[in-house]
Amino acid sequence: MTRRERFDSRELAIVLSHYELGVIESIRDYPRGSRRAPKVRIRTQTGEYLLKRRAPGRDEPHRVAFSHRLQLHLAENSFPVARLIGTRDSNNSLVQHEGAVYEMFEYVRGEHFNGSNRATQYAGYALAHLHRLLGGHALVSNPPDASYHAAPGLAGHVAAVPRAVSTVDVKASEADLLRCCAYLREAYDDAVRRVESLGYSRWPRVINHGDWHPGNLLFHPDRRVAAVIDFDSARLEPRMTDVANGALQFSMRIGQNTEDPTTWPEALSAERIRAFVRGYDQGAATPLTDAEHQSLPWLIIEALIAESVVPIAATGSFARIPGAPFLAMIERKVRWLTPRAERLVTFVRESQR
């Protein structure tokens, strides 16, 4: 299990000295999001704030500056994002200390995703609004462009999974892991071919959020989006990669035991996928094309596999969940979706009528 990173007191004192927050009344750990990116919630006389240390690999200053330019541009256009707090002396949106990069946000209150179709539709609409505001906006000359689609290093990650899992879970069956990984590799490659056959490489590229999931959105009581957070994965790629990943994340069905994936249903929520796409089409400058609709289930499969294999290959687990049962759950979902791909596309298209 990957240990959650935390701040030490000296580090906090040095980083906070760069900000003018007023008298600090309390500092509490904020154990949400990436375990490699520690956060604290700070209450002062002037308000509440969230301090975050960027995770390794997401902390290159040019990448942080890129995401901050996005957030500032969105805020200037009244898009709901958490306000960045500048430093005392230079109003810089980031602080660097001993090789690490830190950012401070105004703390935003809101409700978490409640699993409703209404909230899902608003999440899709908000994503379309973001794409519309960022479309064609040249914020830097070379924005990140990594993607879960046709990821060049995925084969190596898949190959590394059995050893990584066995290192932290001696009870995991190597034979089962090898069989599961072989299936996922084949399913991923098949999905890539299907997406490419639809013309993916020729689709316009726009700036994507890159990590559009329920944990990165806060909602008003009426289920409209109150704030979008965590732009660490923002990048340049066709909009459909964001749409498909968002549809996946907002349609995941998890059992009552959130840490036991063997109890999670194999099916995604087709109703929520349709609600998400309906919301996106309502907010988009141009609705999704026929080819983009056809790519939806295959990009979902790519995202399911890539977004689980990569962290498990690195740590042997997925957050707090052992890697073996988590990958078995991913396999079940891929096996459920593959024969239903055409029906899902037809069902989602009904939202356009």
Report which DSSP code applies to 137. -
- Least reliable range by pLDDT among 65-74, 240-249, 254-263: 254-263
Mean of pLDDT values over 8-21: 96
Question: Residue 339's pLDDT is what?
Answer: 98
Better pLDDT: 34 or 269: 269
Number of helices (H), then strands (E), belonging to the chain: the values are 10, 11
Q: What is the pTM of this model?
A: 0.94
Report residue 257's pLDDT band, with 50, 70 and 90 as the boundaries: confident
Question: Residue 91's pLDDT is what?
Answer: 95
What amino acid occupies position 134? L
What is the distance between the alpha carbons of residues 247 and 336, in angstroms, rounded to a whole number? Answer: 16
Say if CB 39 and CB 32 are below 8 A apart. Answer: yes
Burial 257-287 (b: 16+ CB within 10 A, else e): eeeebeebeeebbeebbbbbbbbbbebbeee
Question: Residue 5's pLDDT is what?
Answer: 92
Strand partners, 41: 28, 50
Q: Is the pLDDT of residue 192 over 70?
A: yes
Where are the alpha helices (H) located in 110-173, listed in sequence order?
117-134, 154-168
Residue 84 corresponds to which tokens in the numbers above?
């960045």
Q: Is the pLDDT of residue 142 over 80?
A: no
Mean of pLDDT values over 141-162: 90
What is the distance between the alpha carbons of residues 90 and 20, in angstroms, rounded to a whole number? Answer: 11
Question: Residue 136's pLDDT is what?
Answer: 62
Residue 246 corresponds to which tokens in the numbers above?
């968002």
Question: Residue 141's pLDDT is what?
Answer: 58
- Beta-sheet strands, E only, within 242-340: 317-318, 321-322
Q: Is the pLDDT of residue 153 over 70?
A: yes
Structural domains of the chain, ranges and CATH numbers in brackets? 9-106 (3.30.200.20), 117-352 (3.90.1200.10)
Question: Residue 103's pLDDT is what?
Answer: 97
46-63 tens-digit pLDDT: 999 999 999 998 889 888
> Percent of the chain beyond pLDDT 70?
97
What is the distance between the alpha carbons of residues 137 and 129, in angstroms, rounded to a whole number? Answer: 14
28-46 tens-digit pLDDT: 999 988 888 999 999 999 9
What is the distance between the alpha carbons of residues 143 and 146, in angstroms, rounded to a whole number? Answer: 10
Instruction: Calculate the average pLDDT of the chain.
Output: 94
Report residue 353's pLDDT band, with 50, 70 and 90 as the boundaries: low
Q: Is the pLDDT of residue 177 over 70?
A: yes
Report residue 231's pLDDT band, with 50, 70 and 90 as the boundaries: very high
Residue 142 corresponds to which tokens in the numbers above?
């070379």
**Residue 235's Cα: distance from chain center in Å?**
12
**Residue 269's Cα: distance from chain center in Å?**
18
Question: Residue 58's pLDDT is what?
Answer: 86
Question: Residue 139's pLDDT is what?
Answer: 55
Question: Residue 255's pLDDT is what?
Answer: 80
SS3 99: coil
Cα 54 to Cα 5, 37, 129, 319: the distances in Å are 11, 5, 26, 17
What amino acid occupies position 268? L
Question: Residue 2's pLDDT is what?
Answer: 61
Q: Is the pLDDT of residue 140 over 70?
A: no
Q: Is the pLDDT of residue 137 over 80?
A: no
Where are the alpha helices (H) located in 1-109, listed in sequence order?
9-16, 61-76
94-122 tens-digit pLDDT: 999 999 999 999 999 999 999 999 999 99
Question: Residue 38's pLDDT is what?
Answer: 96
Question: Residue 3's pLDDT is what?
Answer: 78
Question: Residue 351's pLDDT is what?
Answer: 61
Tell whether the torsion through CA atoms of 211, 215, 220 and 221 is positive or negative: positive
